[in-house]
Amino acid sequence: MAKTSHDLVVEAKSKIKEVSVVDAREMIQSGAVVLDVREPGEFENGHVPGAINLPRGLLEFKLAATPELNQPDTPIVVYCKTSGRSALAVATLADMGVTNTVNMGGGYDAWAEAGYPTDKPPAIDYN
């Protein structure tokens, strides 16, 4: 039987490190890079302050061109909406040799629910 997306996420989570939003916030405050692997429209609706938006579907292709993600000593906190896509992204990054990464458990939804700060670009006023 073929694997489902759920199977792939469970497998990825068994191979990576996942941290709580509390721990992720502490890491970010200590200088970790924040990587949002959601789609641009999701990012525009709200994101963790300072996050780099690099959709998971482009990760392998844009990694080398994103200097912030190529600093071996700088930890990277990766998140998506609820933590599935980001788990897959962290596993992919590890396969590509980027090993100082963690998955933020619960994703952006958990971050926002915890009441942590979020950024949302201002709406464009066409008047």
Q: Which of 51, 80, 88, 104 is catalytic?
A: 80
Residue 119 and residue 44: Cα distance in Å, rounded? 9
Tell me, yes or no, if 44 is annotated catalytic.
no
- Cα–Cα distances (Å) from 78 to 4, 111, 124, in that order, read 22, 12, 28
Query: What is the strand order of the sheet 18-19 is part of?
Result: 18-19, 101-104, 76-79, 33-36, 52-53
**Which residues form the catalytic set?**
80
